Amino acid sequence: MPTDQLGVAGYSLPLSPTGASSMLTPPPWHFAGDVVMIDYRVDPAAAAAFLPPGLTEGPDPGAAAAVFARWQWCSDSGAELADPGRAQFAEFLVLLGCAHDGRPMARCPYAWVDQPVPLVRGWVQGMPKQLGEIHQTTPFPVGRAGPRLAAGGRFDGTLSVHGRRVVEGTVTLEHRSDSPPPLHTVPLAHTRTFPAWLPTDRAVHRLVCSEVTGVEFSEVWTGRADLRIFDALDADFAALRPVEVGAGHVFSYAETLVGGRALD
């Protein structure tokens, strides 16, 4: 039923007479963030088991990344920025290299954020965000209590879920990079999912890809990395443990998420 025949309005719940109570503003959503990203490799068969029909292994089976990010976001109005506690969130996500119709993409099997609005917004897109505690090192231009964004700088990231440590990563910067890490430049392929509820329902599952504009990278610093994934969740998650850890990267990034495109 379209909203105009609904008597109540809103891009999302809560629906209300004017739509003013909607938890989510409609896209576009603008994001800027500081990213600590670690390339790694998983067992290619384990990665393949996470790909739905329509997605294939892609050019580099087993390629994966662990991404810690600290975001600030706003709607087109920018109104959210006036209340920084609502405009900021931290995120950790796992990316698996894959392809759709021969085009390289990334699949995000797991993601955690520390605020409810990005969590629910993730579910609208098909991005499987849950709630967790995510922290990452802040660089500072002064003093001894933080790295410089320069060779030798050390950046750590941590994820805890339900009071248990799940992921720890470390990047030690070595040099500037000519290009951003590949898995951060390809589209994300999600399965937009609406669980069944009524007796006659079948769950909605659509293979979609996120459409972004306004992508900007700051300079990218790269170095050696370490990644520790602990056995604190379920066996499916544990199957994506690193078999090899590659380089780490630290950069700032911005994008505008404008909506989704069907891949199925």
Applying CB under 8 A, which of residues 79, 150, 151, 204 lies at the interface with a copy of itself? 204
**Nearest-approach distance from CB 42 to a copy of itself, in angstroms:** 13
Of residues 12-31, those binding a copy of itself (CB under 8 A): 12-18, 20-21, 23-24, 26, 30-31
Nearest Cα to Cα of residue 171 among 141, 142, 147, 140: 147
Applying CB under 8 A, which of residues 104, 182, 237, 247 lies at the interface with a copy of itself? 237
**Nearest-approach distance from CB 12 to a copy of itself, in angstroms:** 5
Applying CB under 8 A, which of residues 56, 174, 239, 247 lies at the interface with a copy of itself? 239
Please report whether residue 102 would count as binding a copy of itself according to CB under 8 A: no
Q: Are 149 and 221 within 8 A, CB to CB?
A: yes
Please report whether residue 145 would count as binding a copy of itself according to CB under 8 A: yes
Cα 45 to Cα 57, 67, 102, 190: the distances in Å are 9, 22, 19, 19
Looking at the DSSP bridge assignments, the partners of residue 190 are: 208
Applying CB under 8 A, which of residues 77, 178, 179, 235 lies at the interface with a copy of itself? 235
- Stretches 58-66, 79-87, 96-104, 177-185: which one binds a copy of itself (CB under 8 A)? 79-87
Number of neighbours of residue 105 by Cβ within 10 angstroms = 23
Of residues 157-196, those binding a copy of itself (CB under 8 A): 157-158, 160, 162-165, 170, 191-196
Please report whether residue 2 would count as binding a copy of itself according to CB under 8 A: yes
* Residue owning tokens 């056995």: 231
Cα 14 to Cα 10, 31, 65, 76, 194: the distances in Å are 7, 24, 35, 20, 17
Please give the single-letter amino acid code of residue 38. I
Applying CB under 8 A, which of residues 77, 178, 179, 199 lies at the interface with a copy of itself? 199
* CA–CA gap between residue 33 and residue 256 (Å, rounded): 12
